[in-house]
Chains A and B, each alone.
Chain A
Amino acid sequence: DTAVSQTPKYLVTQMGNDKSIKCEQNLGHDTMYWYKQDSKKFLKIMFSYNNKELIINETVPNRFSPKSPDKAHLNLHINSLELGDSAVYFCASSQAPGQGLREQYFGPGTRLTVT
């Protein structure tokens, strides 16, 4: 009965590889997010989707591409991985604006290590 799940939880890969992180929520939320948390714990929003539509696309390298096949899923694909991509990536979901309480529910995070 996990609310927001992410796979994998740990990902170790070499520079130049392509990898994907999957996210699913069973809360019925319309809005999903990807965050990057760096080594200093700072949370930076990367993308946000509302009903499968991209609504926030912060300044991230275009090697990062989100995909939302339906409103319960938001995957993150990363091409040509670099050392600086090493971080913890969080998926989150919330109600859409004006639809009720706006707290975000987070997945467990994916620790990506690029060697």
Chain B
Amino acid sequence: AQTVTQSQPEMSVQEAETVTLSCTYDTSESDYYLFWYKQPPSRQMILVIRQEAYKQQNATENRFSVNFQKAAKSFSLKISDSQLGDAAMYFCAYSSNTGNQFYFGTGTSLTVIP
């Protein structure tokens, strides 16, 4: 079965600095997607970034980028120039392109220090 592991329950970063959140996953499939979701105190789940496994190029969305290491089954999220509004719970997620299941990690709570 697929699993998603986030080994950092809590992280903190100084405003304007860079922080990296870790995620590893386990799968025997070759065709899948990986995601990072953000959940601020408002509790809305917001998609931050996605990565298709067949793409070698790391995805980037403004200040958010990923380091996708397919062989190592690692998918970390880098947040540059951290802002107060980045404070939230971040979830890593895995989805097969053929199966129905989504797998979420246990989340990393990010605090941004002014």
Contact = CB atoms under 8 A, between A and B. Distances in A.
B30 interface: no
A41 B107 contact: yes
Contacts of B95: 94, 102-104
Interface of B: 33, 35, 37, 39, 43-45, 47, 50, 89, 91, 93, 95-102, 104, 106-107, 109
B103 to A, nearest CB: 9
Given A102-B33, A103-B35, A106-B45, A42 B101 contact: no
A34 B93 CA distance: 16
Interface residues of A, number: 26
Given A108-B43, A109-B43, A33 B102 contact: yes
Contacts of A45: 101-102
Given A50-B100, A55-B100, A56-B100, 14 more contacts: A31-B100, A41-B106, A42-B106, A42-B107, A43-B91, A43-B107, A88-B43, A101-B50, A102-B33, A102-B96, A102-B102, A103-B33, A103-B35, A103-B47
A48 interface: yes
Summarize A's interface: helix, strand, loop or mixed: strand
A2 B97 CA distance: 26
B50, B96, B97: which has the most chain A beta carbons within 10 Å? B97
Given A108-B44, A109-B43, A97 B91 contact: no
Given A88-B43, A106-B45, A109-B44, A97 B99 contact: yes
B96 A97 contact: yes
Contacts of B109: 41
Contact of A56 (B91, B96, B98, B101): B101
